[in-house]
Amino acid sequence: MLELDSVSAYYGNIQALKAISLRVDEGEIITLIGANGAGKSTTLMSVSGIVPPRSGAVRFEGEPISGNAPDDIVRRGIIQVPEGRHIFPGLTVQENLDMGALLRTDPKGVAEDLDYVLSLFPILKSRRNQAGGTLSGGEQQMLAISRALMARPRLLLLDEPSLGLAPLIVQQIFEIIEMINRERGTTIFLVEQNANLALKVAHRGYVMETGTITMTDTAARLLANEDVRRAYLGV
pLDDT at 53: 95
24: pLDDT strictly greater than 90? yes
Position 235 confidence tier, pLDDT thresholds 50, 70, 90: low
pLDDT at 142: 93
2: pLDDT strictly greater than 90? yes
The alpha carbon dihedral of 38, 41, 43, 46 has a sign of negative
CB 7 within 8 Å of CB 16: no
Position 232 confidence tier, pLDDT thresholds 50, 70, 90: confident
Averaged pLDDT for residues 73-94: 94
pLDDT at 206: 97
Long-range contacts of 8-13 (CB under 8 A, 24+ apart): 8/53, 8/54, 8/55, 8/56, 9/42, 9/45, 9/46, 9/51, 9/52, 9/53, 9/54, 10/54, 11/42, 11/51
163: pLDDT strictly greater than 90? no
197: pLDDT strictly greater than 70? yes
85: pLDDT strictly greater than 90? no
144: pLDDT strictly greater than 80? yes
Averaged pLDDT for residues 137-147: 95
233: pLDDT strictly greater than 90? no
